[in-house]
Amino acid sequence: MIDRSAILEKDREHWLHPLHHPSSHTDPLIFESGHGVWLRTVDGKELIDGLAGLWNVLLGHGNQELAEAAREQMSRLAYCSSYAGSGNLPAIELADRLAGFAYPSLNTTFFTSGGAESNESAFKTVRYYWKRLGKPDKVKVISRQHAYHGITLAAMSATGMTAYWPMFEPRVPGFLHIPAPYPYRYAGDIQPGETVGQAAARALEEAILREGPDTVGAFIAEPVQGAGGVIVPPDDYFPRVREICDRYDVLFIADEVITGFGRTGDWFALRRWGVEPDIMSFAKGITSGYLPLGGIQISDKIREVIMSAPPNERWMHAYTYSGHPTCCAVALKNLEILQRLDLASHAARMGARLLQGLQGLAEEFEIIGDVRGLGLMCAIELVKDRETKEPAGLGEQLRQACIQRGLFTRAIGDIFAFAPPLIISEEEVDRMVAIVGESLAAII
Ligand code: PLP
């Protein structure tokens, strides 16, 4: 039997956790194992993993095929440099496997170890691209309110969740934030006859014109905003965004760190709107979270600029763990399983069931002001009053009530997010909805 209090003492004394504050770590859940969508704590409590770890454990816990792929590759080759001049088999196979998989014009991959590194790589690629084309002033990046792009300095500066800024400012200059296409709470102006999607796209065009197109290098967006509140854009938003980026020669970076690899019911989220980015960041789901791996895919036109550079203008960008053989071997196995089980379609079906269940709860509970989602990325938003939309201030209480009843997920203020592993069954979806209903009944 594990001595929980001894473990807690070591944890409290010596581990500085992400987003740390002692007040939020008084009685932590310490997980010991998992199977499928279920997590198990050291004191034997079983909970549904309602956010699939941090949106990443697509295949669920305890997948033996992934464990075996890691063991096999690790026992063959620990590591080797991927700097130009050398490489390894799994990374080559994975780059080849990913060519054209997300979008037809993205055929070249640079590997990183996670999402923030991927976005840093994207921003540097934007600078590199415009410098090589003789437009060195195109360095500004337009992002959006509620965006989450990671916590390294430039990624933090692109992040539009302002709570991440104050203790680490000044931010990197040149990152701007425009209103998100947030149908329930749009923060920009809407002209008569305009939809939220049109207004939010207009905000992009206005920002580019205000800054000067010759100074704007890129626009970055998560197809569905995740950490900022599971914000699903209206259907008319991204097609317009693509047109605007083309009109002003602004590269479009899609941050598919959460939405990639089936989460939204398509293999990649922008496909739903018939839109292709110039650069795509990915991470998380590429290995189902079993190992850290991320990357960017770049369009053929960007690849051409890198490949045609003279030696003194080489793409001087590198990470030690770029193309780590074990991470890539696990990613290859993960992709094989995701496709074998057709989990993007399954996510679409389970997501529809989850959304329907949450809509049912909204009929029962006045406190639910909004229900939204795409595939297995859903949320409810709690309000005091449906008219005023004043936040209810009960997100954390609901989270605790759900934990007591066997569901572990995240509250972003009053937004309650659901993104379970894609392998979830109908019964498990129904169980999640039932727990949320019982928990709401208990706290209001
Ligand atoms: N981009 C998005 C959309 C994310 O959700 C995240 C993490 O949640 C990141 C980037 C940063 O990824 P990482 O934490 O692996 O650096």
Query: Given this model, what pLDDT does residue 155 score?
Result: 98
Contact 253, 280 (CB under 8 A): yes
pTM over 0.95: yes
**pLDDT tens digits, one per residue of 256-310:** 999 999 999 999 999 999 999 999 999 999 999 999 999 999 999 999 999 999 9
What fold characterizes domain 77-340?
Aspartate Aminotransferase; domain 2 (3.40.640)
Q: Is the CB of 417 under 6 A from ligand 1?
A: no
The CA distances from residue 47 to 240, 285, 411, 412, in Å, are: 42, 21, 16, 19
**pLDDT tens digits, one per residue of 37-61:** 999 999 999 999 999 999 999 999 9
Residues of the chain under the 70 pLDDT cut:
1
Query: Given this model, what pLDDT does residue 38 score?
Result: 98
Say yes or no: do domains 4-62+343-443 and 77-340 share a fold: no
Measured in angstroms, how far is the CA atom of residue 275 from the centroid of ligand 1?
Answer: 22
Query: Given this model, what pLDDT does residue 266 score?
Result: 98
Whole-angstrom Cα distance, residue 129 to residue 253? 13
Q: Which atom of ligand 1 is nearest to the CA of 54?
A: 8
Q: Is the CB of 226 under 6 A from ligand 1?
A: yes
Contact 208, 244 (CB under 8 A): yes
**pLDDT tens digits, one per residue of 200-225:** 999 999 999 999 999 999 999 999 99
Query: Given this model, what pLDDT does residue 2 score?
Result: 80
Measured in angstroms, how far is the CA atom of residue 230 from the centroid of ligand 1?
Answer: 14
Query: For 413, left (φ over 0), alpha (ψ -120 to 50), or beta?
Result: left
Task: Give helix 325-340 / helix 64-76 axis angle, nearest 10°.
Answer: 150
CA angle 115, 379, 98 (to 5 degrees): 35
Measured in angstroms, how far is the CA atom of residue 56 from the centroid of ligand 1?
Answer: 10
Query: Given this model, what pLDDT does residue 11 score?
Result: 94
Q: Is the CB of 282 under 6 A from ligand 1?
A: no
Using the CB atoms, write b or e for 255-280: b if 16+ within 10 Å: bbbbbbbbbbbbbbbbebbebbbbbb
Query: Given this model, what pLDDT does residue 3 score?
Result: 87
Q: Is the CB of 444 under 6 A from ligand 1?
A: no
**Beta pairing, strands 216-221 & 106-112:** unpaired
**Where along the chain do its domains lie?**
4-62+343-443, 77-340
Q: Is the CB of 152 under 6 A from ligand 1?
A: no
Q: Which atom of ligand 1 is nearest to the CA of 150?
A: 11
Query: Given this model, what pLDDT does residue 381 score?
Result: 98
**Residue with CA at minimum distance from ligand 1 atom 1:** 149
Task: Give helix 325-340 / helix 343-364 axis angle, nearest 10°.
Answer: 70
What fold characterizes domain 4-62+343-443?
Aspartate Aminotransferase, domain 1 (3.90.1150)
The CA distances from residue 101 to 105, 164, 262, 302, 384, in Å, are: 9, 33, 12, 17, 44
